[in-house]
Structure 1
Amino acid sequence: MSQQITLRDAMRTLNLTRDGLADRLGVSKRAMDSWLLPDDSNEHRSMPTVVERFIAEILHSGPKSTQSVQSRSSVAGSAHLLSVEQFSRDSLEDLFRLADQMQPIARRQKICRVLEGAVLANLFFEASTRTRISFGSAFCRLGGSVCDTTGFTFSSMAKGESIYDTSRVVSGYVDAMVVRHPDLGAVAEFAQATHIPVVNGGDGPGEHPTQALLDLYTIEQEFSRLNKLIDGSHIALVGDLKHGRAVHSLAKLLGQYRGLKISLVAPAALALPDTIANLAARNGNVIESFDSLADGLAGADVVYATRVQKERMGGEVIEGYSADFQLNLAAVEAWCKPDVVLMHPLPRDSRPGANDLSTDLNHDPRLAIFRQTDNGIPVRMAIFAQLMGVADQIPHSLREPAWRHPHQVGPDDAGFHTLD
């Protein structure tokens, strides 16, 4: 493993910030920052061997188990990934440790072919752009190939075929499935009909587990840069908290952390369901509801905005969601902390009157939405590696790419985008 992965693993396992780990090791904060920089940075420095040995000793004698995720062959002990409720705090950290190992592959710095010969079926019965392409890209980056289908029109379900029959038939053609379906519980039905891995790509108003996992991984990465821990932080969830499956899954995952303040910022008509709020309130987390941005954003370390899910409302009238709920530059400057992290599961609705996350924040370095989407690749690669039982092969199967790859993906990426 690279020294960056080793250091991030130590911070995660010991639940320490960058500065906290530097103090534990007895080194300067400047040295720690130089060790965490990418290898191609002019300010990168190699970590002394004695420090590596000291870290290994600390982790070996630490209170938490450091069993490698490579020894696991499935996601949180299951053959499928259907819900974030499958995860414990330890299994989350296992997954994120493996996602760290996937970063060089996701960033086009390394090539891996551990899934060569495997075929993924992307079965999307509901519109998708980034989720479908992200899953396909993640599988291909590990050497597999992908078959796509989108919508009911081009599916035999339009002819009356059952979920059971569709799942069983497709299972004979491929080695894993990602399913998105507009009906709650439909993805679980696919899983019940097969022994090959099934991943929930979104089931109606239910869950979007991989989105929440990449969201949480992004928060951890952003906090690493900002010298913060997720435990004890303040996270504001803004917008359509009633219908948004991504925010439902994220709220459940936040319940695995301790001492959080979670601000729910939405009009009463779009409030987070009580059953989900109760899961978020575990481990001493404090849940507070607000009906204005000014009150809900004050002191937040993360603001997670969501789009109004009109496609799930079935004629339901939206009351109280006005322009006052739009997260724009003026609102951020007026009410947010200078180092706030701004997130959104995307897509955001940029049309006039949508009152979604504003495009006037596009060049603000606090906007993490593109770093967030980029993180979907290593997280989904880690999921496939666990489900397909190849996690232990990753470190030994890397090679250099033959093509030119970008140092930063977007021309407007903030300068810290490549930091580990």
Structure 2
Amino acid sequence: MQFAGSHILSISQFERADVERVFAVADNMEPYARRRRRTRVLDGAILGAMFFEPSTRTRVSFGSAFNLLGGEVRETTGFEQSAIAKGESLYDTARVLSGYSDVIAMRHPVSGSVAEFAAASRVPVINGGDGSNEHPSQALLDLYTIKAELAGRGRGVDRLRIAMLGDLRYGRTVHSLCKLLGLFEQVQLVLVSPTELRMPAEIVETLKARGHEVVESDTLEASISHVDIVYSTRLQEERFTTREEADLYRGRFRLNQSIYTAHCEPNTVIMHPLPRDSRENARELDDDLNDNPNLAIFRQTDNGLLVRMALFALVLDVVDQVDACSTPVTWYTGRREL
């Protein structure tokens, strides 16, 4: 893949070598993300952060990643704050805002909309999530986390055993992660969901065609007993027609410490793309797991900075200049590592 000047819209753009390239650059971003060094490699550059769907982690992570490379961020949040509310097309919006930015990170509630926007943009566009379709940067940070968590155990991503739980029909993070895992060897996937919320069939068939073992289940306990990773997802309430329809599935496949202790192997890693739903009738990932050292959800969010910094550096073709534009940090951050 040619990164410089390219849009990042789908995991389908990536080969395994491209993923390894992103991860190698992400590794080199560690001192900057952890505030041990400061770089101004993107001094004067502008990120247009266009988030037309509610977002906290992804929006702030993209913005922080750009700031940590020395760039500035201009944000649009919600349709009501944009000219789209006045009837402006994505084409016109893209033509205008790409004139104000050097790169754009975009989230939109309609599948395919980010690609439509990118087709009219004069600068690279990174997909921050489009409807129930994909979330490529989340999949990359998830896999980066998986790689890091397993490395300490002398394991790699090949022959990974992973269970994905919850809303697999509308959860764009698991769609992208499955596509990414398809690039590796002999992955075993257990897909745990209600029948109505199963992983899209085309994704399952693609995984099987590439030689991976895929099991679909609606039973939690047996599905998490022999895996390296349990990846839980939130019910995507916003994709349902009514809240009452979503309530039919809310609270299914709840993972808590007692279930983990009884059914998971001792070092099974727990992941979640966040936000986790902490309302009493949901709790797909219970708060009583917070002290479990295998809970990796906040290591995931930290890794998001590394991966998104790497994507910006690659797309804007400044990877080889990052260190040359750096200085040590002399102020105390007061940060504690997880």
Alignment TM-score, normalising by the size of structure 1? 0.78
Q: Judge conservation of contact 2:189–2:215 (CA < 8 Å) in 1.
A: yes
Gapped regions of structure 1 (runs ≥ 5): 1-71, 414-420
| Alpha-carbon offset, residue 227 of structure 1 | 1.6
Among candidates 114, 122, 139, match of residue 187 of structure 1: 114
1:165-314 to structure 2, matched below 5 A, reads 165-314=92-241
After TM superposition, the structure 1 = structure 2 runs for residues 5-16 of structure 1, keeping only pairs within 5 Å, are: none
Q: Distance in 1 between matches of 2:247 and 2:219?
A: 14
Partner residue, 1:341: 269
Which SS does the other structure have where 1:79 is aligned? coil
Q: State the alpha-carbon separation in 1 of the partners of residues 250 and 53 from structure 2.
A: 28
Amino-acid identity (%): 49
Cα 1:112–1:281 shift into 2, 3 Å: farther
Return the alpha-carbon distance in structure 1 between the equivalents of residues 204 and 141 of structure 2: 20
User: 2:204, 2:46 → 1: CA distance?
Assistant: 38
Matched, 1:373 2:301: yes
**1:246 corresponds to which letter in structure 2?**
T
What is the alpha-carbon distance in structure 1 between the residues aligned to residue 44 and residue 251 of structure 2?
Answer: 51
Which protein, 1 or 2, shows the higher relative CO under an 8 Å CA cutoff with sep ≥ 6?
A: 2
Deviations 1:89-118 (A, max 9, x none): 111001100000001100111111110000
Residue 417 of structure 1 corresponds to which residue in structure 2?
A: none
What is the DSSP-based 3-state SS (H/G/I as helix, E as strand, rest coil) of the residue aligned with 1:317? helix
Match of 2:256 in 1: 328
3-state DSSP class of the match of 1:243? coil
Tell me the matched-pair count. 337
| CA spacing shift, 1:254–1:283, aligned 2, 3 Å | same
Give the Cα–Cα distance (whole angstroms) in 2 for the partners of residues 209 and 171 of structure 1.
21
| Maintained 8 Å contact 1:118/1:175 | yes
- CA deviations on 1:144-168 (whole Å, 9 max, x unpaired) are 0000110011100111101010110
Match of residue 245 from structure 2: 317
Paired with 1:354 and 1:162, the residues of 2 have a C-alpha distance of 37
The answer on 1:74 being equivalent to 2:3 is yes
For the 8 Å contact 2:38–2:68, the answer to whether it is kept is yes
1:198-230: per-residue Cα shift (whole Å, max 9, x none)? 010110111011001000000000011122111
Are residues 322 and 331 of structure 1, via their aligned partners in 2, closer, same or farther at CA, if it must alter by over 3 Å? farther
User: By how many angstroms is 1:344 displaced?
Assistant: 0.0
Deviation at 1:396, TM superposition (A): 2.6
TM-score by length of 2: 0.96
Confirm or deny: 8 A CA contact 1:267 1:319 kept in the other structure: no
Task: Point out 4+ residue stretches in structure 1 off by more than 6 angstroms.
Answer: none
Q: Alpha carbon RMSD of aligned pairs, Å?
A: 1.6
Structure of greater Rg: 1
Greater strand proportion: 2
Gaps of 5+ in 2: none
Partner of 2:51: 124
Q: 1:319 Cα deviation (Å)?
A: 8.4
Query: Does the 8 Å CA contact 2:276/2:283 hold for their aligned counterparts?
Result: no
Q: Which residue of 1 aligns with 2:70?
A: 143
> Residues 218-259 of structure 1: CA distance to partner in whole angstroms, max 9, x if unpaired?
000001112211111210000100100011100111101111
CA distance, structure 2, for counterparts of residue 234 and residue 127 of structure 1 = 32
Relative to structure 2, which stretch is displaced further, 309-318 or 143-152? 309-318
Q: Distance in 2 between matches of 1:349 and 1:381?
A: 28
Quote how far apart the aligned CAs of 1:190 are: 1.1
